[in-house]
Structure 1
């Protein structure tokens, strides 16, 4: 049965809302509107009414919009689609031409824009930091503060009525995770398995447990390994990051690790984990905080779980950072590094050419660098786009349409790419951008962004 997502009737209420708000611009020669509707949000070019001073915006002010979007949400769920972009032309007579753009499993949707974000050229490909495994730490040892017996005794004193996990439940968790739980973590869950049903839904009881431990504790069955896939990021962000672990670091600067066992939360969305893959100066079983606003690295909050329970997590988490090393991610623009030559060094992984008022940059200084995997260029910053073909290790390339056109026409798009992006500035019509994206996707025989044309008559504007 065809999905109602591709029925004009599904979109008609939204088109009416857009026409009522944008009648003047739609009536102009070549007038059109664009937007994106997803299950978790939408972006529409609607004028928002400013409420009177001291008064909040009322939902009824935008009820027609919410109702129209809800209808599309239902169709998205029915079609098994998370997100879809569109462009629409609506004549003063009411004749409407709607184009639904995709979706394609090879395309990440843009954020707040109808233009496609990254094009995934190799199925399942992830950026290099997400492929980085932890370095072995054979000499790492537990901190002197590790004391499972003291930890268990302290927790039983603090929460004497807690329901603890059985040995069978601990063994089942180890089997599920595929790791042996550290003795401290076992001691913690022998005291409390942190299940809501054990607390009878009483928030006060839960708070006492959290206060006793020093964090919001996950139930035993909620423990998980913070491997890279648990910290997802769009390609356009992920490819611009790099893993850095300094020689004196206590925590490895990874996206994730099979040795990071998450057992708690700080109440603000940051995860608390036992670290079994510490950095060069770290301790086996140290406690780290994995920030939800960063893609790589973690902060040390305690030398051991015993330390955290007895003394509380460090209020100023420790992460080693140094600014005297050549950056692995170099931003060349009028406010940062001002020459490609100054950015070039053997360890360079990411080169971003940003806003620049001077002569365009040549890429000769970075040709042959062994680790350069990402190039991003702002419009007009490249003296010769064809030099890109000499960057033999590129995995991600982000260029404006004009530079992509040069590479495509010359058959010079690097075949080492795993993903790519078309940088769009301003508000160009999405269809030429979609066509360009499809040319790039076609080189890798990837699923294209297929526009679906829907036409009907809305009648005259009342």
Structure 2
């Protein structure tokens, strides 16, 4: 059910919703009694937002179970009811072209199949002068870890070679030396959690087994379009680590126990070393932090050597503006992503952005643009986020940039989700993408007692 519009699903049956609708009517009677009064909510396979004092209940669970059974990611609903009990339920089922959004509105509309934001397409820059750190010493590493883990079961050369074949790359000598000491298999600890804890202490991380090793490319770092498009890859000349979302040269080999990955870095920054150890934070969307100049240093608790040298100031590739003056200050030839906020209270002209060769992402809050149709002149945009009125003006003027890869409707939390879905469908239709399915389900709850 790739487009989540299967009319045969019982998600479209009034009986499926009836227990939840009765609860919603009882707790939102005043709101529903007002002319045009509605109740709005969303249920996904992982969460739910419904206007009830106790959000989790059998009615929600009933809908949730059908979402799981029918492979539907989420459903947004709008409920209207009369005093007689006659009830109209509008259902919005998203498509594979629409990411899950915040609140009740859709997230980013992916206008081109499998399109990724530019920072997620970026590959590492070559660093031809990079070499392993002087501290890299596979033999010392092996002796150190063997001393901490006497009797550990190491991986065979055949097992290491199989891991290299699976990954499509050779493992660095330090990493192979580590696995020759311990293959980090749970079975070797015979269910002893204390033994597993001692193992992690000895190797300074929760070491993956050879099957768990993976290349931490950008695809492994999931991030919604609306966030990823506003990031930028920035690697200063003095950086030890390239500011990438992921790299084919980051071999993830462990976890710090808090969800952050440790990786051996084979594509270092201008001042880094081949084989240095980096931390890929689960709380950050892009970049990695240098932990140690070598895997040997990590095992011996030696701090990383911070690159020296003064860093020349360079304008940020991502910026924020809130009035005409701050917009003028934010614009430069290297600007890639711009957010326009409403703090200034005065709509701005986009004239300063014209002809900027690297501008690819623009997010403008509702009411911030003096003339939304100026966006038609920003031919390099691949991501655009606007309010409903601004999108309407662009559509009316036939000025939607044709090079967009993704777009988003930026509206208030209480904006009519049916209207937003209709607007989103207009944009999806321009690219021939699967649309949000809108279904009206009607039934009778009877008079409220």
Q: TM-score, normalised by structure 1?
A: 0.92
- The aligned residue for residue 432 of structure 2 is 445
Instruction: State whether residues 288 and 300 of structure 1, in contact with CA within 8 Å, keep that contact through their aligned partners in structure 2.
Output: yes
CA distance in 1 between counterparts of 2:313 and 2:20 reads 54
SS of corresponding position for 2:76 = strand
More deviation, 20-29/265-274: 20-29
- The aligned residue for residue 177 of structure 2 is 187
Report how many residues are paired: 443
CA distance in 1 between counterparts of 2:250 and 2:59 reads 44
What whole-Å deviation, never above 9, does each CA across 1:329-384 have from its counterpart, x for those lacking one? 110027xx942211111100011110233432111111001100011111221111
- The aligned residue for residue 25 of structure 1 is 31
- The aligned residue for residue 175 of structure 1 is 165
Matched, 1:163 2:150: no
Instruction: State whether residues 328 and 350 of structure 1, in contact with CA within 8 Å, keep that contact through their aligned partners in structure 2.
Output: yes
- The aligned residue for residue 335 of structure 2 is 348
Instruction: State whether residues 279 and 288 of structure 2, in contact with CA within 8 Å, keep that contact through their aligned partners in structure 1.
Output: yes
Matched, 1:219 2:206: no
What does 1:238-257 align with in structure 2 at a 5 Å threshold?
Answer: 238-257=228-247
What does 1:54-93 align with in structure 2 at a 5 Å threshold?
Answer: 65-93=56-84
Instruction: State whether residues 274 and 287 of structure 1, in contact with CA within 8 Å, keep that contact through their aligned partners in structure 2.
Output: yes
Matched, 1:229 2:216: no
CA distance in 2 between counterparts of 1:323 and 1:398 reads 32
What does 1:359-374 align with in structure 2 at a 5 Å threshold?
Answer: 359-374=346-361
- The aligned residue for residue 104 of structure 2 is 114
- The aligned residue for residue 3 of structure 2 is none
Matched, 1:34 2:21: no
- The aligned residue for residue 420 of structure 2 is 433
SS of corresponding position for 1:34 = strand
- The Cα shift of 1:299 comes to 0.3
CA distance in 2 between counterparts of 1:309 and 1:301 reads 11
* Residues 249, 17 of structure 1: alpha-carbon distance in 2 compared, 3 angstrom cutoff: same
SS of corresponding position for 2:124 = coil
SS of corresponding position for 1:280 = coil
SS of corresponding position for 1:369 = coil
SS of corresponding position for 2:369 = coil
Q: TM-score, normalised by structure 2?
A: 0.95
- The Cα shift of 1:317 comes to 9.3
* Residues 320, 260 of structure 1: alpha-carbon distance in 2 compared, 3 angstrom cutoff: farther
SS of corresponding position for 1:107 = coil
SS of corresponding position for 1:441 = helix
Instruction: State whether residues 155 and 191 of structure 1, in contact with CA within 8 Å, keep that contact through their aligned partners in structure 2.
Output: yes
* Residues 302, 372 of structure 1: alpha-carbon distance in 2 compared, 3 angstrom cutoff: same
* Residues 210, 320 of structure 1: alpha-carbon distance in 2 compared, 3 angstrom cutoff: farther
Instruction: State whether residues 356 and 381 of structure 1, in contact with CA within 8 Å, keep that contact through their aligned partners in structure 2.
Output: no
| Aligned partner (choices 10, 15, 24) of residue 16 of structure 2 | 10
What whole-Å deviation, never above 9, does each CA across 1:18-63 have from its counterpart, x for those lacking one? 1121111111111111111111111112235xxxxxxxxxxxxx6x
Gaps of 5+ in 1: 49-61
CA distance in 2 between counterparts of 1:31 and 1:319 reads 63
What whole-Å deviation, never above 9, does each CA across 1:214-262 have from its counterpart, x for those lacking one? 1111122101010001101111111111010000000000000010000
| Aligned partner (choices 96, 99, 113) of residue 90 of structure 2 | 99
CA distance in 2 between counterparts of 1:95 and 1:248 reads 68
Instruction: State whether residues 251 and 278 of structure 1, in contact with CA within 8 Å, keep that contact through their aligned partners in structure 2.
Output: yes
Instruction: State whether residues 95 and 456 of structure 1, in contact with CA within 8 Å, keep that contact through their aligned partners in structure 2.
Output: yes
CA distance in 2 between counterparts of 1:346 and 1:201 reads 58
More deviation, 365-374/65-74: 65-74
CA distance in 2 between counterparts of 1:295 and 1:381 reads 27
Gaps of 5+ in 2: 1-5
